[in-house]
């Protein structure tokens, strides 16, 4: 083995045997001095038996992220093959869909790397030292694999601070793209890949948004609307759609996207969604469908209790707003609130509302955001479609 060798304890080895790709710092028994972070290392157990090759992090509590369980070089050819496999999967499940997640980190066996494509504009996030040190190579490989004219880095995310990495954003390849048009079904939206949230859009909800549009009728309410993507899908069948968004920049984007899509039924209201729902609940049931797509309320384990209260409150108010037979499409992107917990919260809210709730669908992220069996961290988005008789 040419790479530096790191030995791990029995607990860490057992974790690898169960299929999980992370080894925590507390399970590292011996590591060479002088490793800066970002190196490819060979991982062995206490008997020096080879287990995997992994990316090393010097600062994070996740010290090792497995890249391969074979004794093979992790070089340009290796990364190119992994990227090609990820691209092929998206083509298989989405066809020629131009807007898609191309790489979904550990779920694509490329830890610490996220890549979204909007046509010929590609946005990447290198979230750990290993991928950050290789971002120029990754940008070249993406240009070759996707024919991208522009590669943007959106490394202005807090998780990088846990790895000792600075927050940066900018153009890695090509010219500044300006607003990029993104389509979901018949809806048209402009995406700001440099100034918008995440990589410009929340592609993980794409299939859930289209599905929500199929339930739409009458008066529909889209809360935490951001740039109006759910509202645009609802507008195709609803008589009236109100999109509620607190941030003025996002609310302006929602209005522009509605105009671009010719969605004349969409009204965008700048308001706090909690307050708006409280006022609507006080008026009594009047909405045929409500969408709740809030930001993550639980950023860590310490915030779970407060998150539970927040999810219950917003769902309870939404249930009070719905007419008999109304539909609630409700989501959580908090990894620390698993699906079973979210279902408990929804049951508590339904009980307090004094209304039964039928589960029509349990959904997750779109197919270009695969989850890896045995790695629950890759399945963060939960979406329930409920009917309140």
From CA 52, how far away is CA 67, in angstroms rounded? Answer: 7
Mean pLDDT score of the chain: 96
Q: State the DSSP string of 127-140.
A: -SHHHHHTHHHHHH
Q: Active-site residue 223, yes or no?
A: no
% helix, strand, coil for the chain, step of 5: 35, 30, 35
Options 220, 223, 321, 333, the catalytic residue: 333
**What are the pLDDT digits (tens) for 97-152?**
999 999 999 999 999 999 999 999 999 999 999 999 999 999 999 999 999 999 99
**What are the pLDDT digits (tens) for 207-218?**
999 999 999 999
pLDDT above 90 for 77 = yes
pLDDT above 90 for 196 = no
From CA 365, how far away is CA 314, in angstroms rounded? Answer: 21
Q: What pLDDT is stored for residue 68 in this prediction? A: 98
User: Residue 348 to residues 289, 311, 312: CA-CA distances in angstroms?
Assistant: 20, 11, 7
Segment 185-209 shows an average pLDDT of 93
Q: State the DSSP string of 346-387.
A: HHHHHHHHT---EEEEEE-S-TTS--BTTBGGG---EEEEEE
Note the helical H segments in the chain: 10-17, 76-94, 129-133, 135-146, 206-215, 229-234, 248-261, 273-283, 304-321, 339-353
Residues pairing with 65 in the sheet: 22, 55
pLDDT above 70 for 163 = yes
pLDDT band at 189; cut points 50, 70, 90 = very high
Q: What pLDDT is stored for residue 1 in this prediction? A: 63
- What percentage of the chain carries pLDDT values higher than 70? 100
From CA 190, how far away is CA 169, in angstroms rounded? Answer: 19
């Amino acid at each position: 083995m040419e790479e530096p060798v790191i030995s791990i304890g029995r607990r860490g080895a057992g974790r690898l045997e169960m299929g999980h790709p992370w080894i925590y710092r507390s399970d590292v028994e011996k590591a060479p001095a002088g490793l800066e972070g970002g190196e490819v290392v060979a991982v062995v157990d206490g008997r020096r038996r080879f287990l995997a090759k992994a990316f090393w992090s010097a600062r994070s509590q996740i010290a090792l992220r497995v890249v391969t369980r074979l004794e093979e070089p992790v070089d340009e050819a290796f990364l190119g093959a992994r990227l090609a496999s990820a691209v092929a999967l998206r083509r298989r499940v989405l066809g020629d869909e131009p807007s898609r997640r191309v790489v979904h980190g550990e779920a694509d066996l490329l830890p610490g790397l996220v890549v979204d494509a909007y046509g010929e504009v590609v946005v990447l996030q290198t979230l750990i030292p290993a991928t950050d040190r290789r971002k120029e190579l990754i940008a070249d490989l993406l240009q070759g694999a996707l024919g991208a004219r522009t590669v943007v880095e959106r490394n202005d995310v807090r998780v990088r601070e846990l790895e000792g990495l600075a927050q940066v954003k900018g153009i890695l390849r090509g010219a500044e793209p300006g607003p990029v048009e993104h389509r979901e079904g018949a809806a048209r939206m402009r995406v700001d890949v440099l100034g918008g949230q995440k990589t410009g859009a929340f592609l993980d909800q794409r299939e859930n948004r289209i599905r929500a549009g199929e339930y739409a009728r009458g008066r529909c309410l889209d809360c935490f609307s951001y740039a109006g993507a759910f509202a645009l899908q609802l507008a195709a069948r609803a008589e009236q759609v109100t999109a509620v968004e607190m941030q003025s920049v996002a609310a302006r984007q929602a209005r522009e996207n509605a105009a671009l899509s010719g969605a004349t039924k969409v009204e965008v209201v700048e308001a706090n969604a909690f307050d708006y729902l409280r006022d609507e609940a006080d008026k009594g049931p009047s909405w045929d469908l409500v969408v709740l797509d809030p930001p993550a309320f639980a950023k860590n384990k310490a915030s779970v209790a407060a998150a539970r209260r927040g999810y219950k409150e917003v769902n309870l108010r939404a249930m009070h707003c719905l007419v008999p037979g109304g539909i609630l499409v409700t989501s959580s992107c908090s990894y620390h609130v698993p699906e079973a917990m979210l279902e408990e919260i929804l049951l508590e809210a339904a009980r307090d509302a004094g209304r039964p709730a039928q589960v029509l669908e349990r959904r997750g992220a779109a197919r270009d955001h695969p989850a890896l069996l045995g790695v629950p961290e890759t399945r963060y988005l939960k979406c329930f479609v409920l009917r309140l008789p």
